[in-house]
Structure 1
Amino acid sequence: VSMVDAGTVELVRSLGLEVVSSANLIQYFESRWTKAQLESHLEAGKKVDRVRREAFERIGAKLRAGERVTEWDVKQFILTRYREEGLFIDHGPDVAVNANASNPHYDPDQDSCSEIAKGDIVLIDMWAKLDQPASVYYDITWVGYCGEQAPERLKNVFGVVRQGRDKAIEHVQRAVAARQELRGYEVDDVARSHIREQGFGDYFFHRTGHSIGSDVHGTGANMDNLETHDDRKIIPWTCFSIEPGIYLPEFGVRSEVNVFVGEDEARVTGEIQDRIVLI
């Protein structure tokens, strides 16, 4: 499989030939998992979820002890725990505080990271796979608040994101259970429509989800009707993320789960965030 530049495509078309995308062919042969890969994903998920809980707990312990803790510190803690758990990651994870979380691609470094303090919002986007051949990724995003009670504004935004996420999950599950044809862009439409109806459409500016495989961004159908119009069918034995977000100037919220599609059912493969983590 290779890529072709637009000029070559136009040249071929000028000869009266039809150029056909190989996207569906690639998805069929590259994005479907084996049973062993599903098991590796589930095992990685247990480990990543454990490290995620520990990361939030570590932030809280540091704050209660009056010790300094930064985004970079939390990132390094996660990477250390990944190594101890036998997990592999080629970049990341992303730890973002307050306005930094308004950038979906924010990645702290040692020199420019922010300190975490009481009253802060903390977003952690983390992914990993077992450090073994043919393993596949598990990829999640959770949000926490450093305090005993999250502000109403944060709870409201999180609620809208959660509802959009859940509506998209339910749409996939109904379609798969009924063996109805479902395409990636349709899943994006469900989550995006809800967020738009709640008045936050302008603040959700990335696709709803991506294919997951041996690379964290796989080659299968993406849940996308914004960056592209992905009309590929969602097929059995594939996995993808559902991760709507709202990115306001002062903070960002995203909730990410992984959905595995079997022959006649779709399921979220790990823990689901129903409320903001109080750190």
Structure 2
Amino acid sequence: NPHYESTAANHSPIQRGDLILFDFWAHLPDPGAIYADYTWMTFAGTCEEIPLRQREVFEIVKRARDAAIAFVRQRLADNQPVEGRQVDDVTRAVIAEAGYADYFIHRTGHSIGTVVHGNGANLDNYETQDDRVLLPNTCCSVEPGIYLPEFGIRSEVNLLVFEHDAEITGVPPQQEITPLL
């Protein structure tokens, strides 16, 4: 489940050896404030204890995330429109090439505004085939993921779109699973 949420009836303590997906969002206490929305992968253990397969899957997700960002930036630099579905296709191609197409089970990203899931173009050719163009001065998430029966990995950044470029806002993109010990 890419959006698992623990409840009073469905939870367990974090234990050494657990892979932890933190999905968090917030905004300043102003009615017009824009949200920030991130996903970060951590491991309850040392760097040396992170299983190789989890590292490998993270690298694929990272490549997919970075390919999406590079695609958006290149299209904008070339003064070409960028449709949400095109970005999703680029991301999915990276994951499919690695053999995990069936395990990427949501869109690549969503619009972000004064609500965490905004009204602009979504990076989606999976759920809604969004052909809307990313507009200047809008923000979206880029959050590919691979969800296997044993574990799931996602990496999420926020991308602020300008007329001829885009930039990642907030924290720098995660480059590896973060050990907690």
TM over 0.5, shorter chain = yes
Pairs within 5 Å for 1:232-271: 232-270=132-170, 271=172
Higher RCO (CA-CA < 8 Å; seq separation 6+):
2
- Does residue 131 (structure 1) correspond to residue 32 (structure 2)? The answer is no
TM-score by length of 1: 0.62
- Does residue 115 (structure 1) correspond to residue 13 (structure 2)? The answer is yes
Pairs within 5 Å for 1:90-239: 103-148=1-46, 149=48, 150-239=50-139
The separation in 2 between residues aligned to 1:111 and 1:230, in whole angstroms, is 36
Unaligned runs of 5+ in 2: none
Following TM superposition, where does structure 1 have runs of at least 4 consecutive aligned residues deviating by more than 6 angstroms?
none
The separation in 1 between residues aligned to 2:114 and 2:121, in whole angstroms, is 15
Query: 3-state SS of the aligned residue for 1:246?
Result: strand
Partner of 1:275: 176
Unaligned runs of 5+ in 1: 1-102
Contact in 2 for aligned 1:140/1:256 (Cα 8 Å): yes
The separation in 2 between residues aligned to 1:201 and 1:265, in whole angstroms, is 29
Query: 3-state SS of the aligned residue for 2:95?
Result: helix
After superposition, what is the alpha-carbon deviation per residue over 1:210-238, rounded to whole angstroms, capped at 9, x for unaligned? 00001100000000000011001111011
Q: Which has the larger radius of gyration?
A: 1
Count how many residue pairs are aligned between Structure 1 and Structure 2: 177
Contact in 1 for aligned 2:61/2:146 (Cα 8 Å): yes
Letter of the 1:264 partner, please give it: H
Contact in 2 for aligned 1:137/1:213 (Cα 8 Å): yes
Letter of the 1:203 partner, please give it: Y
Identity across aligned pairs (percent)? Answer: 51
Letter of the 2:99 partner, please give it: G
- How far did residue 263 of structure 1 move? 2.1
After superposition, what is the alpha-carbon deviation per residue over 1:182-233, rounded to whole angstroms, capped at 9, x for unaligned? 1010000000011011000000010000000011000000000000110011
The separation in 1 between residues aligned to 2:43 and 2:24, in whole angstroms, is 17
Contact in 1 for aligned 2:31/2:114 (Cα 8 Å): no
RMSD between superposed Cα atoms in Å = 0.8
After superposition, what is the alpha-carbon deviation per residue over 1:108-150, rounded to whole angstroms, capped at 9, x for unaligned? 1233211111111011000011111211100000101111121
Contact in 2 for aligned 1:177/1:266 (Cα 8 Å): no
Query: 3-state SS of the aligned residue for 1:142?
Result: strand
After superposition, what is the alpha-carbon deviation per residue over 1:225-268, rounded to whole angstroms, capped at 9, x for unaligned? 00011001111011100000000011100000000011221001
TM-score by length of 2: 0.95
Letter of the 2:3 partner, please give it: H
